[in-house]
Structure 1
Amino acid sequence: MSQREVDSGTDELLAETRGRVAVLTLNRPRSRNALSKGLSSALGKLLRQFDEDPQIGAILLTGAGGSFCAGGDVKNMAQSAVANLTFDERVADLRESQRRVWGGLVAVRKPTIAAIPGAAAGAGLALALACDIRIASESAVLITAYARVALSGDCGIAWLLTRLVGFSRARELMFLSERINMQRAEALGLVNRVVPDAELQDNSLALATLLAEGPTFAYGRMKDNLDHALTAKFQESMDFEAENLIRTELSSDHQEGVRAFSEKRKPNFNST
């Protein structure tokens, strides 16, 4: 598998490609990978870059030093540049950051995987939930965290939680701000798979590689269908699916998939 480092513009975000997988590693281990302004900016930029790169088929997001992401950098909030802005300026600044990172992650049309080696809290939990699939180590913990510092939540956490666990559970998780172990997280549907700590890296990369070698164009249309279904009526959803089904039916990947099926071999998908 070919491997290449990618310049993220900051030491706080490590980036590399492994075959058709882009691996992004949050790299502020001393602060449990809390999100700084520079880290967020670099992450948003590379998410767009890899989504547009035809050589990339999937994006794997993880954290260094045994944590996924502790959310916002609470200790430095009071000293941050936005502390002296007006209310409206602070709202605008937060909205822009949210759209660039969390909005950008949800907008990616390629499969996205969060590999969670440890704590994912607050905005960091939202970052994991914004990925398509979450695979976590047995010792990882999730926590909404906002109530503990008297904040209401941001980065799409309300939208993501409500759709993943439902109306009542989302309120429970936000209000109580309890530490969620992986047994409960998997039962709630917050994570897709739980693996032994030592196997997280290999398992998550294997899953990302499997998806990266799949039908990228069809995956994108699947994501369109699933996103549309969140707000559409049944008939509207079927009509929308019909258009995308025909689009994928006309693709070279579909033709290759049919040939591979007939020839009893692994397909070689290459459309984007």
Structure 2
Amino acid sequence: MEIDTGTTELLCSVRDGVALITLNRPEARNAMSPDLTEALRNQIKARGDDDAVGALLITGAGTAFCSGGDVKGMGGRGPRGQMSYEERLADLRWRQTHLTGALVAVRKPTIAALPGAAAGAGLAIALACDIRIAAKSAFCTTGYAKIGLSGDYGISWLLTRTIGPMRARELMFTSEKVGAERCEQIGLVNRVVDDAKLQEEAFAFAKSLAEGPRVALRHMKDNLDEALHIDYSLAHHREAERLVQSSRTEDHKEAVASFVEKRKPVFKGR
């Protein structure tokens, strides 16, 4: 099913429980434009709330994932250059909250498929997803130091929690281009696949998650998110609550029955 996103700069379809969201400005390496980012914000929220969707897969058209902000509109050249400091601050905070903030808040598995560059805010979008799958020719770079900026869209927080403070500082300070294989070595992406197989393998992976026990997966995300900032004792209590809740679902009963009957489970998401 094709979804009308309101712009050709963002494509969205829902198939086999997967919402495939494609940044579609290949001529600009999928740089973030006002139309693209507005549509992306809307689709993250809508597909995150859509009961027909079990997983979100975000990718880019052409040979890039997302090259970040449009540099040509920076340096006071764009419309935001006319804003006061307070206006610009409020505007950026709102845009961050409703893009990467909303993506982190989605209680379904989220996957980023990187056919090429993920740079700056584009890297932040990829980092806001649960899983990252990269083509062999892809690379990641923070990019901010090269344009005299300090970072936005939560990249410092996301990067630190993904690869640790030492690596995060190195990549932020240097804007180094990190190839796909090294990205996998340092934990920036989960796996690397052949360029020609990226979309196929990423969709198959997303589909496998969409077919999973959705209540249990939602509880897993809650447990894993909380593990970053609560103590072990509280984590025990929260895990126990969510496991008991999961045990009362139809999906759990189906999983047990399928195990006994030696067949693949068919989960209903309830």
Q: TM-score range by the shorter chain?
A: over 0.9
Partner Cα distance (2:100, 2:78) in 1: 21
1:26 and 2:26 correspond:
no
Structure 2 counterpart of 1:58: 55
Please list the CA deviations of residues 124-172 of structure 1 after superposition, one character each: whole Å capped at 9, or x if unmatched. Answer: 0010011000000000010000000010001111111111111111100
Partner Cα distance (2:173, 2:165) in 1: 12
1:207 and 2:205 correspond:
yes
Q: What is the aligned-residue RMSD (CA, Å)?
A: 0.9
Any unmatched runs of 5+ in structure 2? none
Partner Cα distance (1:123, 1:163) in 2: 16
Partner Cα distance (2:45, 2:220) in 1: 19
Partner Cα distance (2:269, 2:195) in 1: 35
Partner Cα distance (1:263, 1:52) in 2: 33
Please list the CA deviations of residues 166-185 of structure 1 after superposition, one character each: whole Å capped at 9, or x if unmatched. Answer: 11111001001110001110
2:236 to 231, 235, 238: 238
Matches within 5 A, 1:1-272: 4-77=1-74, 78-271=76-269
How far is the alpha carbon of 1:271 from its aligned partner?
1.8
Please list the CA deviations of residues 20-70 of structure 1 after superposition, one character each: whole Å capped at 9, or x if unmatched. Answer: 110000011111101112211111111111111111111100001110000
Partner Cα distance (1:53, 1:265) in 2: 28
Partner Cα distance (2:148, 2:252) in 1: 51
How far is the alpha carbon of 1:83 from its aligned partner?
1.2
Partner Cα distance (1:90, 1:126) in 2: 20
How far is the alpha carbon of 1:216 from its aligned partner?
1.0
Question: What letter corresponds to residue 50 of structure 1 in structure 2?
Answer: R
The TM-score, its normalising length taken from structure 1, stands at 0.97
Q: Which stretch of structure 1 is more off in the superposition, 99-108 or 33-42?
A: 33-42
The TM-score, its normalising length taken from structure 2, stands at 0.98
How far is the alpha carbon of 1:79 from its aligned partner?
3.3
Question: What letter corresponds to residue 82 of structure 2 in structure 1?
Answer: N
Any unmatched runs of 5+ in structure 1? none
Partner Cα distance (2:157, 2:257) in 1: 41
Partner Cα distance (1:158, 1:120) in 2: 15
Please list the CA deviations of residues 226-259 of structure 1 after superposition, one character each: whole Å capped at 9, or x if unmatched. Answer: 1111100110111111111111011111111111
